[in-house]
Each structure stands twice: as structure tokens, then as C-alpha cells.
Amino acid sequence: MLRSMTGFGRDACDSATGEISWELRSVNHRYLEVSLRVPEELRSIEPAARAAIAASISRGKVEANLKIRPIEGSAQAITLNADVLHALKGAIAHVESTLGETTPVNPLEVMQWPGVIASEKQNQEQLSADVLVSLAEAVKDLVATREREGEKTAGFLSERTQSISELLENLKQHRPSVVERQRTKLLVRLAELDIEHDAQRVEQELVMAAQKLDIDEELDRLSAHVAEFEKVLKRSGPVGR
């Protein structure tokens, strides 16, 4: 399938930190060139982001812009580690079943247990994972737009190659009549001059004229170019320069 190198892709999703939004644009370029714009705190995802783009796109100049809109008041929000909290709950229940009635658990003391409140590193890791998932969707959208544009271009080019093929066929059919007209024109000219002429010499001149008008080799070469061009349009990989 022919793909255009120009296109646009976008994806937006919500995370615990805020709204993640990717915008990808691509234009013509001989090789793949990726330009990333991400918040400073997410610079660590750049290698993975470049790899994700390169996995689906092999050519074009791609600009990828990431925006994160924080949830209002998220700076003061407390994120609990659900896995640790669930494990701690099970442990408390086991202790109560073993020892019998115990002092009620203080929620504030539970929150002080190591790992219950998610650390900033854990939050950052989750945000990075969410960002890369969103990027994958944006890349899919970009590839889809490039494919749609490529399909339109392929259809346009196919129409042109079909027209060229029809013209070639017409030329092949009319070429013999062109040679015959040239022969008739020469004989008529000789008749108008009313001079004696060597019939054998005239035939030699007609043969030379026919050779000059012989374009079979050019027609065959152009037909081969058209056939090869049609094959290129059906390739799955990159085509053209």
C-alpha cells in the first residue's frame, strides 16, 4: 500500500496526573527524522518514544508534541498504592482472626506504613507508561491518515498510467499507417515532378524513412516503465525518493 509522508495524528486520554495529549505531524523527508517536544520531567521517555514511532514509520520528518494538563489540585493530592493497601488489609484481618479482638486500626497509622502512599517515583513511572500508551494510539492515527492520503495519490497515479497505456496502444496501431502515408506522399511528389526515377532507389529511400519513423523500441521501453511503475504502487514498503 502506498503511504503518503504527510499526515497528522492525535490522541488524548486521562491519567491519575491529568490529561495526556499527543499531536503528531509528518512531512516529506528522505529518511526518518523525529523531533520530540515533551515536558522536562518526562525526558527519560524519549528513547522509548522514538522507538515507538520508528516501529511504524520508516520515512518522513515527524514532529511529536506532548502536553499534560494537570488535574486541578493534583499537587496536593495523595495517591495510595492499592496493591500495598490491599496486602496490608489482608494482614490485619489475619492478625485479628488469630489474636481475637484487637485495638481498632487507625487509618492515619496505616497511611504511615511504608509503601501505602505511592511515592513520586511510582507516580512518575505510571505517568510515563500512560504517556507511551497514548503515543502508540497517536502513531496509529498518523499512520492511518498517511495511508488514506497514499491511497488517494495511488488512485490518481493509476489513472495517469492507464491513460499512458491507452495512448501507447493507439500509437502502436497507427504507426504502420504513418509509414504508408509517408510512402504515398513521396510517390505523389515524384509524380508531380514528372521525372524519371530509379524505382529501386525510391524503395531504398522509403526503407530509410521507415527506419527513422520506427519508434517500436521507444514504445516498448515506455510500456516497461509503465508496468514497473504500477508494480511500485502496489509495494508494501517505502517507494520513491
Model pLDDT, residue 182: 73
Least confident span in 7-11, 82-86, 110-114, 200-204: 110-114
Q: Kind of pairing, strands 18-27 and 60-70?
A: antiparallel
64 CB burial (10 A radius; 0-12, 13-18, 19+): buried
Residue of higher predicted confidence among 211 and 24 = 24
Give residue-wise pLDDT tens across range 189-236.
767 776 676 777 777 777 777 666 667 778 788 888 888 888 877 776
Residue 107 pLDDT more than 80?
no
Among 68, 82, 91, 72, residue whose Cα is nearest residue 122: 82
Mean pLDDT, to the nearest integer, of 115-125? 62
Query: Residues of the chain with pLDDT > 90: what percent?
Result: 24
Model pLDDT, residue 214: 66
- What separation in angstroms does the CA of 94 have from each of 11, 90, 102, 105, 106? 45, 6, 12, 13, 17
> In degrees rounded to 5, what are phi and psi of residue 41?
-70, -10
- Grid coordinates standing for 231? 508494480
Least confident span in 39-48, 122-131, 135-144, 187-196: 187-196
Residue 74 pLDDT more than 60?
no
